[in-house]
Amino acid sequence: MGEAGMEQRTRIGFIGGGNMARSLIGGLLENGWQADHIMIGEPDAFNASLLQQLDGALTLTTDNAAVVDQSDVVILAIKPQLFPDVLPVLRDALSRTRPMLVSIAAGVTIASISAWAGDTLPIVRCMPNTPALVQSGATGLFANAAVSDEWRNIAESILRAVGLTVWLDDESQLDTVTALSGSGPAYWFLMMEAMQAAAVAQGLPEDTAKILSLQTAFGAAKLALESDVDFATLRERVTSKGGTTEAALKVFEQQKLRDTVAAAMDAAADRSRELAKLMEQG
């Protein structure tokens, strides 16, 4: 069915109503999904009040089983360490309604979710990133064999409400997605932080250094998004022989920036795998 059909028929439930859930709900509402088709299980009164501000037609409850009972899709938007406590309590409700589960928790495998849920359900595991909070996210998705093409389309539409989505062929690739786009915003924040500090050290006012760093990062990303060439070609186009950019890039190469980035991403992916093993053992 098309997106309009999905919006009219699909009932979406959220277990957890924190920042990421709130950004997803906001994106769904902006994309035409019906507020009265969205139900959120959130025990925290402050989070509940923020959700109610999005749209008064949203249904909020502290009863997660009620969310499952009334939803076609259940989005698991709780902290990873809460999964072993929350999901087993919902086994009866999940068995009755058999919704598609969409997990946005890092380091929680589909095998673990199935074990705690107590049934073989259609499950999509996602790795969104924090720019989803401003509808500029990047999300990798992986579906188990129980997820039909129709369910895949619905899951993609939900996550696409907050940015770009890509499907993965293997669940293990989510560890790399975690290292790339999941943790990646922090890498760029560090780069902007370092550029700002260097400019201040050279005499620029802090506010001036900050706005120039921000706009440079934004402009480079926008230029790359709207270009039909690869990153290397874009880099070469702004690197005049014997110029200032070449002088800076030579230092990056001498300091082995590429090796540092590769090592950092290896560390992030390794930690993602370690956390998944810890969750399985727990």
Give residue limits of the domains in the chain: 3-174, 184-270
Determine the 3-state secondary structure of 100 from DSSP: strand
Quote the CA–CA distance of 40 and 63 in Å, as a whole number: 9
Over residues 183-190, the mean pLDDT reads 97
pLDDT above 70: residue 8: no
Quote the CA–CA distance of 228 and 205 in Å, as a whole number: 36
pLDDT at 192: 98
* pLDDT digit string, tens, across residues 191-230: 999 999 999 999 999 999 999 999 999 999 999 999 999 9
Burial 203-219 (b: 16+ CB within 10 A, else e): eeeeeebbeebeeeeee
Q: How confident is the model at residue 19 (pLDDT cuts 50, 70, 90)?
A: very high
Q: Are 1 and 9 in contact (CB under 8 A)?
A: yes
Angstrom distances, CA of residue 3 to CA of 143, 144, 151, 155: 19, 22, 12, 11
Quote the CA–CA distance of 120 and 126 in Å, as a whole number: 18
pLDDT above 60: residue 68: yes
pLDDT at 107: 87
- 73-76 vs 100-103, strand pairing mode: parallel
Q: Are 122 and 140 in contact (CB under 8 A)?
A: no
Q: Dump strand ranges (E) for the chain.
A: 12-15, 38-41, 59-61, 73-76, 100-103, 123-127, 137-143, 163-167
Over residues 154-178, the mean pLDDT reads 96
Determine the 3-state secondary structure of 140 from DSSP: strand
pLDDT at 54: 94
Q: Which long-range contacts (CB under 8 A, 24 or more apart) does 145-148 make?
A: 146/120, 146/121, 146/122, 147/100, 147/122, 147/123, 148/122
* pLDDT digit string, tens, across residues 233-255: 999 999 999 999 999 999 999 99
Specify the DSSP element, H or E, that contains 234: helix 231-237
* Cβ contacts of 8 within 8 Å, gap of 6 or more: 34
Determine the 3-state secondary structure of 144 from DSSP: coil
CA angle (23 as vertex; 99, 158 as ends), nearest 5 = 40
The CATH fold assigned to 184-270 is ProC C-terminal domain-like fold (1.10.3730)
Determine the 3-state secondary structure of 141 from DSSP: strand
Over residues 91-115, the mean pLDDT reads 95
DSSP-assigned beta bridge partners for residue 39: 13, 59
pLDDT at 3: 46
Per CATH, the number for 3-174 is 3.40.50.720
